[in-house]
Structure 1
């Protein structure tokens, strides 16, 4: 058994930022990461993924993102950045250490990993974020569809879909980006329950993150309240232009799937090869089952990242946790500082082998 001042579950951007803040405050954090190497979930995202925030607004605390501050980093640049950040971190990071159980008690927590190791800590921060579990909605006929069903978490690039008939379900950034990319080689329809919402990437010659920062909305707790509803698609002009040109076309959600066919609301039907669900994610926190920290849907009950049910437990990296930026590279450091400041984890007296 070993001990730490604070155990941080997850070694992606949220966990690394939390560990940096903890170490800067003189604490001894331990980061437990399920993956075998650094980068969190980023290495598994689709190949062409590009940040819609410039590098100058895409850094974790203590290390600037390299390159031109105005450029929009690619997925692999983010992986390289997180790898370098991990190497510089004044904290122990244990890779290949998925957490299976967190048990609160009178002295803090016992955190158990898959190999049976138990770590004692006064505080725990769950920093696996809100994107750990791909969400598959209940759509008519989906379970019996005889074609291929994929989630965007499984999508890498357009090459395997050349010439195929593909329906992309979803109206967020990933749905639109993937649909436009696929439309270069496949016959693609983007299908959504409601209208698409777009937000220009630049206003008056400046990226909209500059305006968010200048107005204070980026870090304000009022931000999420002012922007209720679906997250808009950030557009530099390419995506709306592609949709207007019908590459891909956009239609209301199909009425149902029947065998290998999609049936539309007007009764027309057509054969479909692949249904790609770009329908988002949900938090994946099975290690908190039984603690009372999660609601009936497995969503953490918290106020600003502090558990409302389990003292000493915090969260970092949840979408709109405290601000617009909460689940982003630029925002997790602020939330980590808030959570650790409220938890005030004490230094552990000893380390036992």
Structure 2
């Protein structure tokens, strides 16, 4: 007979590993299922030059401090190594290449089927695939006739393929600006935005912004207790002179184009412009279609939950943006949410 575990964790990124840490501390029987061939969630697929927007000192999972100078801003590959070391240090039971295909309910709990043909059973589920596993690209008129290249920022790696191109990046967030500044060194680059980009200072009084938002209690303020989702900020953290670069016009920003045509885009004033590549830095959406038939998702496929607790008994979430606080979907915040959920699971299993 297949062993019935206490919990199956879906996702081997920061949310899944933090959940595993707390499940292990509480002595529960669990497995972590990771869809790809390595742990780390979305981090291995981010662009090469990505830097954290928070210092190392504010970027740790529970139980293991991020190594090195605590005031520096770690690179993507450092985060990946940290997550790998985290899994190894705590000997977390992660199975790779186990993409969940279907979850069914039976009298004993849940039956989890993966695309590789494996079957797992558990009394509870933690969906820890987070908010950033499904790239979102808006529908824009004329996109189907555009003969240039379009890609999502999740497909961008570095500037090499874009030398001497005319590139438009759709979006005004941190990733959009960071990629645009990098591309502006080798190509003519524009940020297409709905509203002018708003910037926040990285340092206030010689201390990083994250020191202040933690000090005043905003970072972990429990918005969920008041029936609200924590707000997300559209402001760009001004690292590496981003604001100065955009003010100087390299890259520049323009109001979002209205449509595509065969060779480029059409701006709001009606001007057509030849464009080689359009990159959509338009964010991500949660994606857990295997939970749909269980009633754990709304009509748009978004998780139904309060502070990570699903209305479907036995299903929980960790890693969602704004789940319990402003920091919920970050390295610094996901551990607290994972502990909250694991405590709820303990109560259910009693």
TM-score tier (shorter) = over 0.9
Point out the more displaced range, 293-302 or 99-108: 99-108
Structure 2 Cα separation of the partners of residues 262 and 9 of structure 1 = 40
The normalised TM-score by structure 2 is: 0.95
RMSD (Å) for aligned C-alpha atoms: 1.8
Secondary structure at the counterpart of residue 151 of structure 2 = strand
How far is the alpha carbon of 1:347 from its aligned partner?
6.9
Unpaired segments ≥5 residues, structure 1: 349-353
How far is the alpha carbon of 1:196 from its aligned partner?
1.4
Secondary structure at the counterpart of residue 242 of structure 2 = helix
**1:330 corresponds to:** 332
Listed one character per residue, the Cα deviations across residues 316-347 of structure 1 (whole Å, up to 9, x for unaligned) are 00011111110001111100011111222677
Structure 2 Cα separation of the partners of residues 118 and 135 of structure 1 = 30
Within 5 Å, give how 1:27-66 maps onto structure 2.
27-66=28-67
**2:167 corresponds to:** 166
Structure 1 Cα separation of the partners of residues 347 and 297 of structure 2 = 22
Q: How many residues align?
A: 347
Asked if 1:106 is matched to 2:140, the reply is: no
Unpaired segments ≥5 residues, structure 2: none
Structure 1 Cα separation of the partners of residues 51 and 74 of structure 2 = 6
Secondary structure at the counterpart of residue 144 of structure 1 = coil
**2:6 corresponds to:** 5
Question: Does the aligned pair in 2 maintain the 1:110–1:120 contact within 8 Å?
Answer: yes
**2:208 corresponds to:** 207
Listed one character per residue, the Cα deviations across residues 239-275 of structure 1 (whole Å, up to 9, x for unaligned) are 1111011111100001211111211111221110001
Point out the more displaced range, 236-245 or 180-189: 236-245
How far is the alpha carbon of 1:106 from its aligned partner?
3.3
Listed one character per residue, the Cα deviations across residues 274-293 of structure 1 (whole Å, up to 9, x for unaligned) are 01000000011122121111
Structure 1 Cα separation of the partners of residues 314 and 94 of structure 2 = 21
The normalised TM-score by structure 1 is: 0.94
Secondary structure at the counterpart of residue 194 of structure 1 = coil
Within 5 Å, give how 1:69-218 maps onto structure 2.
69-218=70-219
**1:289 corresponds to:** 292
**2:18 corresponds to:** 17
Question: Does the aligned pair in 1 maintain the 2:229–2:325 contact within 8 Å?
Answer: no
Asked if 1:271 is matched to 2:293, the reply is: no
Listed one character per residue, the Cα deviations across residues 127-175 of structure 1 (whole Å, up to 9, x for unaligned) are 0001111001011212221110010010000111000000000011111
Question: Does the aligned pair in 2 maintain the 1:9–1:33 contact within 8 Å?
Answer: yes
